[in-house]
Structure 1
Amino acid sequence: MENTKQNITIVQDYFKAFQQGNINQVLDAFHNDCLIVSVRDESRKKNQLHGTYRTKESAKQFLQNIVDHFNTEEFIVDKIIAENNVVFANGKFRHKVKATGKLFISDWVQRSIIENNKIKEYRFYEDSAAFVKASMT
């Protein structure tokens, strides 16, 4: 039970650092050999947001892609629950897409697997159709 609480705290701290704009602390939350899947598990171009990122080094690109694509107006974490080393979180956000000025509003869910007090696997799901719509000029 204590390990489960600790794993929840790791994810809570990740979100708190992200909301405070502390990118170094956000990056530090990831395991050196992490896997990040943003919406779909497939290869992607460097500046493409959705797709697969492997290793902590590519986590930097993931974070940069978020910053490059959006001005976040609201990011709400509704709930974080865990069983052992698997942590689920959900909420909603409102981003302004920088390229179009349009709002991208979505519910989201995230599944993290914690290993050695770091996020080893991170999968984030959102309304990708709403993203496409907000990205169209």
Structure 2
Amino acid sequence: MKNSENSSAIVRDYFNAFQNGNMDKVLDLFHRNCLIVSVRDEERKKDQLHGTYRTREEAKQFIANIVNSFTTKEFSVERIIAEGNVVFANGKFSHEVKTTGKLFISDWAQVSIIEDGKIKEYRFYEDSAAFVKTSQN
């Protein structure tokens, strides 16, 4: 039980740091050899948000891509559930897409695997069709 509580606390810290704009803390919560999958597990161009990121150095690019893509209007975490070192979280968000000014609204789900007190694996899913629609002029 203790491991589950620790794992969920790390993910909760991640969301709190992001919502408070503390990107150094967000980055520090990723394991140095992390794997991040944003919507789809495939190679991506450096500035492309969705795709695969490896290592903490690429996690810095992941954070930059989010910040450069959106102005967050609302972000809510509905639940965080942990079993051992695996954490599931979900919620809703509303982002203004910076390139179009359109509102991107989606439910989201995230699965994280915690190792050595850090986020080792991070998979984030959202309504990618809505993202494509709101990203086009």
* Identical positions, percent: 71
CA distance in 2, matches of 1:80, 1:124: 14
Match of 1:21 in 2: 21
For the aligned residues, what is the CA RMSD?
A: 0.3
Match of 1:104 in 2: 104
TM-score (norm 2): 1.00
CA displacement at 1:127 relative to structure 2: 0.1
Match of 2:57 in 1: 57
CA displacement at 1:130 relative to structure 2: 0.2
- Structure 2 residue runs of 5 or longer lacking an equivalent are none
Alignment of structure 1 residues 1-137 onto 2, 5 Å: 1-137=1-137
CA deviation string 1:88-130 (max 9, x = no partner): 0000000000000000000000000000000000000000000
Partner SS state of residue 63, structure 2: helix
Partner SS state of residue 8, structure 2: helix
- Structure 1 residue runs of 5 or longer lacking an equivalent are none
CA displacement at 1:83 relative to structure 2: 0.5
Structure 1 runs of 4+ with >4 Å offset: none
CA distance in 1, matches of 2:91, 2:133: 20
Partner SS state of residue 130, structure 2: helix
- The AA in structure 2 aligned to 1:42 is E
Aligned length: 137
- The AA in structure 2 aligned to 1:4 is S
